[in-house]
Each structure stands twice: as C-alpha cells, then as structure tokens.
Structure 1
Amino acid sequence: MPETKHLFAPLTFPTVPVKGTDDVYPVHRIFCVGRNYAEHAKEMGVEVDREAPFYFLKNPLVLVQSGETVAYPAGTENYHYEMEFVIAVGKPLFKASADEAADAVFGYACGLDMTRRDLQLKARASGRPWDLGKDFERSAVIAPIAPAAGFGAVGPQRIWLDVDGVRKQDAHLSDLIWSVTELLVHLSHYYHLAPGDLIYTGTPAGVGPVVTGHVITGGIDGLDPVQLTIGAAE
C-alpha cells in the first residue's frame, strides 16, 4: 500500500503556558459564553436569558498569547475588546453533576474575546450566526493558565481592563450570572468536554472600540494579566 502523504503541512494546535511549571496546555476547542454579566447585556440592548446560558465557538487556531501585537482586522470599523475569565478543562466531562464539574477544572486564565462589533450587530439584527464578528484570525487572547488549586473559590476576585492606562471595565467574578460549575454542567449535556477545552465565560460592562496603537491590559485577582497591542490595519 502506498505511503500516505500530506498535500501540505498540517496545522498544529496552539498551547498555553501553565504558570509555575514548564508544562503547556494544548488547546483543542474554545467555547464562549454570551451575555453572562447583566450590566453588559444591558449595554448591548438585550435582556439576559436566565433560562440557560448560550454559547458561540472560536476556532482554536485563532488563539494569541498575551503580550503580542495583532493587526487591526479586515472588514470592520468597530473593533472591540472584551475582558474574560477563562476556564481550562482538565478531565473528560459528559452529562456531569455539579461535583464532577467542579473536579474537572484544571485552571483559570485571563483572556480577551476580540470582536468585530459592527459585523456581530449586523448579524444579530438579521438573526444570523455571529461568526464574522467573533471567529476570525487572532481574535482570542490568553495569558498563562494558573492551576485551580491555588486560585481559591471563584467570586470575590476583581476583573478589570484598561486601554492605554484608562480603566474601561471593572467588576467582580461574583457578578457572573452562570457560575463555573453551572456552565460546565450545562455545556457537558451538549458536548463531551475534555482536556484541551477552554471556556471564555463572558465579559463585564464597559466594552468599547480600540484603534491602531492602543495597548489593552486586563487582569483578574490571582491570575497573570493579559496584554495586547493593536497594530496597523491589514
């Protein structure tokens, strides 16, 4: 039987450093939670769906490490930051109980869900998927992952974001509508979650546009901050 040959080099999954170790966390999927802070939903002109969380996905290949510079993306005139608390799954999880979900968390990280807001809102108004607004190259940013054991209970930690040193977002993880455990339980009834899955848990109020030259810095108590510089337009 002839040897199988790739027509071109296959892509490799990105990895994220694990704080305090030489290990890296391979990323296989990125799930994002919509409207998980009441004040953000209000500023976007929509109501919070308290029946169940909802999600959109980003291709893992769009992931960018903290500290990088990314070009202002094509096709938009309203490029927004969204500061997020990120869950890294560490065990297989399917139709999980609350206890199983809590035990499946590997760690947490600071992240940015960069958004072509004009394209997202246009799609939303037409009842179409958000892919053009959300899932594009270099649109998910992440800092090193901190193991969950050293982070403590989720809730009192402050989550914030600055643009060029000016505070734009400021809230606490206790403001999350759907908790870490609730999100994992719910999502595990629709997907076989596994190590390598990241969950971006939504953004607080205060989202807004950035332009070439802006430096975004975001943080969550107990985690390494995330930073991104906006380069020239593509």
Structure 2
Amino acid sequence: MSTSFLKDFVKNGRKIYGAAYNYRNPSGDVKDQIKEPVLFLKAPSDYITEGNPIVIPPGYILMEELELGVIIGKTCKNVNVKDALDCIGGYCIALDMTAVSEWKKAISQKTPWTTSKTFDTSCPVSSFIPKEVIKDPDNVELFCTVNGQPQQDGNTNKLVFSATELISFISRYHTLEPNDMILTGTPPSPGTVKEGDIIEGGIKGGVTIKFFVKSNL
C-alpha cells in the first residue's frame, strides 16, 4: 500500500481498535496482568486532527491517554506474530480520550464500555508517521503533558502485548484493512482534563501533538 494513500488514514480508515490494560504496572510485575488482549472499538468519526478542539460531552469527565497508534498497511487475516510487522504501514501519535465517568459506571454495572470510549472528538491524532521513521515499535519513548506539567511517561517496551501481538490477535476475528488503526495502550499515569486545558505529547525527540480542550456548552 502506498504511503500517499495511508497519509489519509483519518479519512480512509474503517476501524479503530484499542487495547485496554496493556501496560505493565510500574513495578514491572506481570503475574497479575491480563492473559489475552482486552479490546474496544472507536468509530472512525471520532478522529480529529490538530487545530480542532477536544470537546467534552455534557456531563462527562474526560481522561487523556496518550498512545502509539499503528496504521495497518495491507489486508491481513490470521496473521502470525512473526509476520505481523509486515502488516504495519506506519504510525501516528494518538489520544484515547476516555469518559472516565461513564467508564466507572460501566465497570460497576458490568456493562459495555461503549459510551466511555467512542464519542465525537475522542480520538485526536497526529499526521501519518512513515514506517521507516520508527525502527522498532517495541521501543518508543512516549510522554504527555497537561498545561506544561508532566502527566505521562513510558516506553512501548512495557506493553503487555506488543503491536505485532495485537495485530495477530485481532486478525483472528476481524480482517484488518489498510488505514485501520490500533491504539496500543497508554503508559502511566493518565489524568483527567477540563475546559481550557492544553494536552501535548508524543515521541521523545520525535513527532508531537497539541490539542485544546473545550466544553460542549
């Protein structure tokens, strides 16, 4: 798949998968971690790019979760982990905006996470990052600040399931297509945001993003 086509992943992508609980705890102890990926979906209409605000829906409390996004470069189904790297066409920096108020309600009631994960402006992203820019998706230093104050810091080498493992797992059940995106998981420690906040972050020494937060009044 040509890079020029993948540059328009926001317009052309049909699926956004997210991986929950996918960073090891701060001690690095994985014995109590999940046994297989915990996944959720966002709608492609949730995408926004820089210059557009993150809008807080009425009654919601939002939390920012900065992540490395993996852009699928070719159709893949039942792909092995060792072959999954070839399915990656590029990357992006993404924010998985989560309505923590709705998420806590869903957890307590044992109901789906849908309204906490997918809503307008809940998937802010950078422009397309060519595959060759990131030599190893399993060793990417990520950071996030809110109003200039450090909020998140971590490396994708602490993912419970790597990008290629996520691709392999998802492709068992869902054919992945060019321009689909996988949110790989967020490092410690995401925080809540409010109207007027400025979220910045990205790859240390690399691509960064900046988004403003506003209320839907």
**Structure-2-length-normalised TM-score:** 0.89
User: Quick one: distance in 2 between partners of 1:197 and 1:139?
Assistant: 16
The structural deviation recorded for 1:147 is 1.3
Give the equivalent residue in structure 2 for 1:15: none
Give the equivalent residue in structure 1 for 2:58: 74
Q: Does 1:30 pair with 2:29?
A: no
Give the equivalent residue in structure 2 for 1:114: 97
Give the equivalent residue in structure 1 for 2:117: 134
The structural deviation recorded for 1:154 is 2.2
> For 1:48, which of 28, 33, 40 is the aligned residue?
33
Choose 210-219 or 96-105, whichever is displaced more. Answer: 96-105
Contact 1:32 1:202 in 2 (8 A): yes
TM-aligned CA distance change 1:34 to 1:22, over 3 Å: closer
User: Quick one: distance in 2 between partners of 1:223 and 1:111?
Assistant: 14
CA deviations 1:67-111 (Å, max 9, x no partner) are 3213222231x2110011100001111011123311010001100
Higher helix share: 2
SS in 2 for 1:219: strand
Contact 1:68 1:227 in 2 (8 A): no
Q: Summarize the alignment of residues 189-204 of structure 1 with structure 2, pairs less than 5 Å apart.
A: 189-204=172-187
Runs of 5+ unmatched residues, structure 2: none
Please tell me whether Structure 1 or Structure 2 has the larger radius of gyration of its CA atoms. 1
Moved over 6 A (4+): none
Give the equivalent residue in structure 1 for 2:141: 158
SS in 1 for 2:153: strand
Aligned residue pairs total: 209
User: Quick one: distance in 1 between partners of 2:138 and 2:7?
Assistant: 27
SS in 2 for 1:38: coil
Q: Does 1:180 pair with 2:163?
A: yes
> For 2:76, which of 85, 93, 99 is the aligned residue?
93
User: Quick one: distance in 2 between partners of 1:182 and 1:22?
Assistant: 22
Contact 1:31 1:56 in 2 (8 A): yes
Runs of 5+ unmatched residues, structure 1: 1-17
TM-aligned CA distance change 1:23 to 1:138, over 3 Å: closer
Give the partner amino acid of 2:212. Answer: T
Contact 2:138 2:163 in 1 (8 A): no
Give the alignment's Cα RMSD to 1 decimal. Answer: 2.1
> For 2:43, which of 59, 66, 73 is the aligned residue?
59
Q: Does 1:84 pair with 2:70?
A: no
Question: Identity of counterpart residues, as a percentage?
Answer: 28
The structural deviation recorded for 1:23 is 4.5
Give the equivalent residue in structure 1 for 2:153: 170
User: Quick one: distance in 2 between partners of 1:175 and 1:48?
Assistant: 12
SS in 2 for 1:138: coil
